[in-house]
Structures are given as structure tokens and as C-alpha cells.
Amino acid sequence: MKTKLHFGILIILMAFLGRYLESSVVHNQQIVVQFSDLQITESESQKTIEAIQLKLQTIGVKDIQVGQDQNGQLKITYYSETDIQYIKGVLSDDESIEFAYNANGDHSDEFPEQQSTKDYELNISEINNTNTWNFETVEIVDLNHKSDRFSNLNDYNTNAQINLKSLGNLIKVCVAYNNSIALAIDNQSYKIPEVRAGPTT
């Protein structure tokens, strides 16, 4: 009996441990890589991504993922507790990197005027994880009054008048018929014997 209890507790502890270890970190920063040369080869872009990943790993960045954004540019997302300015300082040791930040801190899509053919530009930004969508509220439907109108304007039987006298007579007949059926059922209910289940004594 105790072995079953110990086995059950062990399974529950293993499940909690697995869930704790499996919890993934949410990416909070991203780097968008823009190459100055449009004719860059696949091997050169892979070398660039590997160099950036190695530098990020020396900083202590976790869960690095490389992908593409909607414009087809390379995007590196990762989780880091360090500040963007520190990451920018570490990555700026490489002479071929240009950062796409102006004085206001906003990134720009323009390259510097003088670049070699193998240069690339990095847009480093934080990923905003706050969700502005509130799905628990009431949905407000915006009706387009031009297209949501009732388009069938044919009114059928517009000149018909209801004859209230004949309608009243019809209701009286229905009520009288219903009452006579109810009375007929009550009059015959005494003829149906009630049977008691069980042995007779």
C-alpha cells in the first residue's frame, strides 16, 4: 500500500519538475538584420548570423531564434535581462556593423551613405509583450448602413384588413371545442378502472 503511495507521489513530483523545466522564456528583444548589399550570398548571411549569435551567447542571451519578418528581413529574437544599450555596445566592437538608431532612439530604415559591400545594419529593439486586445469585453459590431439595408421592398398584402368579427368568432369556436374535449375526457375517466399492483388478499 505504501509503495503505491510513494509511487504516486514520485509521479506527481516528476510531473511538477518536468513542467518547471519545460517552461519556456518569452522573447523580449529582437535584432533585425539588413544587409547593405542586395547580392549577398547565403554563406555570407549565415556567417553574419553565426557571428551575431556567438556575440549574443557571450553576453548570456537565452533561447536565440532566427527567422524572417513580414518584409523578408532576417530577424533574431531572444530573451535577455541585459539592457539594449549594453548589447549594442558589445555588438559594436565589429567594424562592419552599423546600427539603425537616430538621436531619438527610433530605428530608421535608411543605410549610412558610405558602406563596404559586406556591411550590415542592425535594428535592436524590445518586443512589447503587452496585449492591447481585450477579448473578455462585449463585441461592438459596426454596421455598414449602405450594405446592411433590407433590399427587398416588395410588401405583400398591404391592403388586407383584418376582420375582427370573424377572428373573434373563430377564437370562440376554438375555446368551445377545447372545453368539450376536456369535459369528454373527464366524463370517461370514471369508466377506466384503477388497478392496484400486487397480490390480492
Q: Check which CATH number belongs to the domain holding 86 and give it.
A: 3.30.70
CA-CA-CA-CA dihedral for 168, 170, 174, 175, to nearest 10: 20
- The answer to the question of residue 76 being in a domain is yes
pLDDT for 172 equals 92
Residue pLDDT, tens place only, 171-188: 899 888 888 877 666 665
What's the rounded Cα separation, in Å, for the pair 69 and 75? 6
Q: Which amino acid is at 70?
A: Q
**Number of structural domains found in the chain:** 1
User: What confidence tens digit (pLDDT) does each residue in 94-135 have?
Assistant: 655 555 544 334 444 444 444 444 567 778 888 876 655 555
Q: Tell me the three cell numbers of residue 197.
A: 399492483
- 38: buried, middle or exposed (CB in 10 Å: 19+, 13-18, 0-12)? exposed
pLDDT at 150: 57
Residues of the chain with pLDDT under 70: 1, 22-25, 37, 94-119, 129-162, 183-196, 200-201
Residue 47: inside a domain, yes or no?
Answer: yes
- Residue 87 CB burial class (10 angstroms; 0-12, 13-18, ≥19): buried
